[in-house]
Structure 1
């Protein structure tokens, strides 16, 4: 065979280079796709791990935070948040402390509290609850029995005793009820500043008459 001319040699070389480059690009693209797939799997695993950590944190927080309702001879009756294992003395402190008429001989300040517990601080000379229960219902105010606040008639101070209700929000509640009395406790959510979360915190403490 005759030798290739210089032009033919250059043409063959160009074709070979094109083939080599094409094959190299094909393998490179395949590696890129594999790398992207691996990155997606890694990101998904990281996201799942992050969600698991968040879920665990929420569970731990729910297990360590308790809420109790304290009333009677304290300055700020209502719901208080505590850490699991805290005692009645801690709840009393969060409720503003004991009033001077509180009968401390009938309560145990060292008592450990549990979630959803109801604590009543009696007054000196007050009859025990067993004796009070013998009094006819007609002789007592229903609001006193339920220990709930009537949001249609209560004072501003009583509203402020509710968890999450400050002086400004209490004023808004009073202003609202003067023009539109509450028909049910859910109506309080119509007052500016009271959303679903705040309502859930106070719904067991309020009543409408």
Structure 2
């Protein structure tokens, strides 16, 4: 018998072969396909985000450096301090300094009349501070500073040094106007020109022209 015949004889069904019914176990939890796909997508997104962070793929916050503060160059004023002081002469101070600052440098003598000076007055470049002795006559009016009125009469009143009582000697200036002049220079600093009187309440162009020849800075 040939080998092929022998193989066919052995593999020929006998009719006794019964397939056994196999029961496969059913899963206890059923996950819908859409929810499963969404869960898988979420996991993949988390993995990608984690990989980007680990690899430095995130955008770093820019490092801002504070701007350098602008350098302010303070101006200076040069004033002259004379009279009853230990160190008379020129004093250089920062712009915005007051009479008290100039006196601190000049060092008034024990007999100096400091009450006659307004130590809170702001200084202007070229100003002269005359410190008198207690009981002495007030100093003569200072010469006009640059930009001031020229041709003033002898014995003119100084807008920046005269007291309120001395200012009442000017034509058309009463006690109220004199007080307003003093208050203005104490609040805004010394007058830089005679025309600055127009900023004082109660003084108009006509009154200014009436007193112009009798005032200096």
Q: Same fold (TM over 0.5)?
A: no
TM-score (norm 2): 0.31
Structure with the greater alpha carbon radius of gyration: 2
TM (normalized to structure 1)?
A: 0.32
Structure with the larger helix share: 1
